Every structure is written in structure tokens, then in C-alpha cells.
Chain A
């Protein structure tokens, strides 16, 4: 069963007088443990598709399934619960809650889920070590570099063991060395935990790590290619 299945999804925005097609009859399947890059120029529809899969955007028509559950008709509360328990998010920026330390940010989703404190703590420490942030657990985001902040965001995204991680331009604000490290981390997590990754990007370096690249233009999928990952 695919981890993600989009069937004929359409989404239209209004920009003043104009109607813009964010997603134009998009159909896509991502298998469990997949590592897929959605690639498109700005306005091409990759972020819209990512947000639709994550239940952050309402679609106009079509179907979106996560495993065996259709999510496009769910209410706000059900979508919030779905995101909390099944999906890990990494955004381009503003990923972290500034008043929480790195460890607290990693524990945040687990805490809202109701995971017991000792379990939360050991898992967050373990994952922070895994992403190379051992020793920085008690630092607040303002005292960390952009790369370190993205690592914390990745740690948070995977700490609660989601089945799916959605990352939107995760390397956009990072230097090439940090971006490389982050992508290697994604690949390692994908391999080790069999977590499905869907990454929206137009960064060629990121695409090199993917096993499948889905290219979009004007809200439509124009190319879908399997490749040997780097």
C-alpha cells in the first residue's frame, strides 16, 4: 500500500481578480519508505502539493490518501491529530519555537502527544546525538546557527517516529556543506527507520540524494523519474 496517494487533485487560488491553478489534476503515489523530491520553479506547485498532502491546504477536488486513510475530507481537529501522530514537518524557516531549548523543541510534538517525560527525554537526547547536536540540548534557537536549527527541526520531525516526513525547501537557508550534511542525515534516517520522505525543492544538490524526482510546472506533474541516489 502506498504511503501517499494523490488522485486527480486540483487546487485553485485567487490572486486579486486572477484565478491561479496551484494544482492541476495532480496524481501521485509514493511507496512506503520512499525518498521523493518534488522539483519545480517558484510557483510551480510543489509547496502546494506538499501542504495538501500534510493536510495544511484544502483541495478543490480529487482525493488524498495517507496509507489507507483518505484525508481530504477530514475536519480541522482530525487533520491536527493526523499531523501530530503521523507526519513530521520540516519547513524552510521559522521551524522552531524560540522560547524552547533544542531538546524541548524536539520533545514538543511528543509532549503534545502525551509521551511520558522519561521516554521523551531519552528519545530526544538520542536523536539530538544522531543529528550531531550533542551538547547543544539546552541552547535556544537564537543561540544556534541556521544549520543547527534545521537539524533540530529534523530531529523534531522524526522524534515521534512519523510514517511520513514532509520537508519544504529544507536547505534553502543553508550553506552547501550544511545542506549536504542535512541531506545525508535524511538519507540515513530514511534508510534506518524506513520513514517516507517527500521533499519539495529546486536545489539540484538535494535532488541528487533522491531516488525519485517528480518535476512540476504550473501545478502539473510534467516528469516523474526514478534515479540512483547519490
Chain B
């Protein structure tokens, strides 16, 4: 049986026999831990921003729609507005915002050009908290109510249509009977988005106006729901699904936007790789420190073996030294990372490279996202890999022959 207390005491004291070497190694671990956590928080912040931006482009965290809507997003595949039962769930605190929309393919024509777009009929008050468009208004005004008869378009589309704010365009689509319906809209607002596809592909009008145009009564195309944490939407999805009843599908954003979901998965993998890479740089120093420590203490290890300590005791002692060193370095590194990130939570202004950030779909202000999961992951991975790295020196130490070790000069 290995006696933990004596093993830990010896490991701790041996660690401080050579102060300078231990402090250098400790500094490396602290800087490594800080770098892992700080840079992960920056990367997380950037990806969070990209994903949240994507989610706010329209899908929300969870969406309710007709089972065939995604294959054929026409007015034929519409659904009834939220029932009282569904409204009961949508009014819960776990729902930050929700909106019922009409969303159909349409053609918009100016006097010069015609473009295929997605016509979105919205309730502006609800949409304000849910999607990008209200925040991204650049010119004119946002829609004022579901009855608003104006049209909000993207800057790029405005250029392609060769028209301007205040001018009229014709929007054409199909009703439930596949009859062509159209009406004129005055462009009342222009939005600008970090993604060109949004500016080019969406036009927004009042929901009731669009419902009348498409002769669909009070039916809608989709109900988008925004929760509190986009990473954990399954509980919300399940509750919405139970309340929505049969005849509809309820999908999380990860299914609606698989590209964004894969980006999140890729980020998780990248964080792990980054942590392992930083650790590998540390590992050389760690193994060197342990090997030096072992070979400085050959006689002492021989003595302990001669007195009746088992090779397992010796291995445990070397591994304990490595673990204590890493744990201490990680603890200080964690605190340092937290202390560095906390003051930056208000955002880091990267407007100097803003255009490049926008190309990535990220905003010019980066909000570092310090997640306890990442801190735990970094700590666990470093301790585990440290354990593995210390096995070789520990094994060597435990293989000494007591008599030869004691008499070694």
C-alpha cells in the first residue's frame, strides 16, 4: 500500500530542493496555462460571435415549421400560429425572444432589374430582439408594425436592383393555390450586414401585410425561438416540441445551420489540439526537470528502496512531484488568465483589422468568452498528459537496484 501523506510530503519538499529549476519550470507552466486559457477565450469569443450572428440571421436557437417546409419553403407548407399551450412555453424565462414569421421565396422587381429573394413577413416588435435586421438598419426606418406596408431591403440588393430608398418595387410570389400574387412596396429602410448573402437575399415587410398578399389568413411559415444558451438547446427544443403538438417539426439551430454547428464542433476540437500543442512544448521541460531530479537523487532513492519502500512508492513519489508542479502552475495560470480576461469582457476593439474580421463573419469588437469547461479541459488535459510524461522518469527511478544506487558516486 502506498502511503499518500509521506509520498506527498517527500514530493513537495523535493520539488523545492532546487528552487531555481522549479521556479523556471513553474513559470513555464503558468505562462502555458495562461496562454491556453487566454487564447481559447479569445477564439471562443470570436466563434461565439460568429455563431450568434448566424443564429440571429433568422433561425433562432429552435424553430418550429411544417415537416416539408425546409424542402419546399412555400406558402403551401405553412403552419398555424402558436397555440395557447405553445405560448405557455414561449413565455417561460428560458425563452429570451420568439417570433412567428412568414417566409416565402419571391421575386422583387425594380424599374431596372429583377432579383430572386426571400420575402420575410415579420412582427417588428418581436423581431427586434430575435434577428439582425433591426440592429443593422443603415438608412431609412425599420418596420413599425405587422401592418406596415413598407419594405426593408439590404444595401447590396438595393444596388443590384439599381433603385433607392423611397422608391417602389414590386414583390411577386405564389399563394396556396400556386396562383401568382404581387403587390407594390415602397422601400422604407435599408440594412447593411456583415454577410453579403443577407443583404442580397432577404426583404422584410409587415407580417399581416404579407399574409394578406399570400392569402394565407393568420398562418405562418415558422416560429423562431431564442433561448438563453445556444450551446444547450436540447431541453428547450424538447419542451417546444411537446407543446407544439403533432404536424410540425421542431429543429435546433445545429440542424438548421449545419455549417455553424460544424464550426462549433471544429472549435471544440481546435481547443483540445491547442491545449495539447502547448502542453507538448511544456512536456520537454517537465520531463527534463524530472529526469534531472531523479538522477540527482539516485543514492537517496536507493536508500528508500533499501529501507523497504517499494518501486511503486518511488514511482508514486516522482509522479506526485510532477503533478504538484503542474497543479501549482495551473492554479496560478488559471487565476492569471481570469484576471487578464475579466477586464476585457467589455470587448476588445479590433477595428484596426475590422474588415478582416468581417470577412470571417465576426464583428470588429471581440468579446473574450471564458468558459469554465475550457478551464477544466485545459487543467485535466495537462494533468493527464503530465502524468503520462512523468511515467518514464518515474519508471527509471523505480528500477534502481538499492545497493548500486546507494554506492553511486
Q: Which residues of A contact B (CB under 8 A)?
A: 51, 54, 56-57, 76-77, 80-85, 89, 91, 94-100, 104, 108-109, 111-114, 156
Contact = CB atoms under 8 A, between A and B. Distances in A.
Given A56-B403, A57-B403, A98 B307 contact: no
A71 B398 CA distance: 21
Contact of A83 (B10, B13, B308, B313): B308
A108 B300 contact: no
21 contacts: A51-B403, A54-B306, A56-B403, A80-B309, A82-B308, A83-B306, A84-B308, A84-B309, A89-B307, A94-B303, A97-B303, A98-B300, A99-B10, A99-B14, A100-B10, A104-B9, A109-B308, A112-B3, A114-B1, A114-B3, A156-B307
B316 to A, nearest CB: 12
A111 B3 contact: yes
Contact of B299 (A76, A82, A94, A112): A94
A97 B403 contact: no
Contacts of B310: 76-77, 80-81
A102 B10 CA distance: 14
Given A111-B3, A111-B6, A114-B3, A97 B304 contact: yes
Q: Secondary structure at chain B's binding surface: helix, strand, loop or mixed?
A: helix
Contact of A56 (B5, B304, B306): B306
B305 interface: yes
Nearest to B398: A76
Q: Which residue among B17, B310, B313 has the maximum number of chain A CB atoms within 10 Å of its CB?
A: B310
B311 A76 contact: yes
B33 to A, nearest CB: 27
Nearest to A104: B9
Contact of B406 (A94, A96, A113): A94
Nearest to A140: B13
Nearest to A85: B308
Nearest to A51: B403
B324 to A, nearest CB: 14
Contacts of B403: 51, 56-57
B402 interface: yes
Interface in B1-55: 1, 3, 5-6, 9-10, 13-14, 17
A85 B309 CA distance: 11
Contacts of A81: 308, 310
Interface string B394-409: 0000000011001000
Given A56-B402, A97-B300, A80 B10 contact: no
A86 B204 CA distance: 90
A83 B313 CA distance: 15
B406 A91 contact: yes
Contacts of A113: 308
A109 B5 CA distance: 13
B3 A97 contact: no
A112 B308 contact: yes
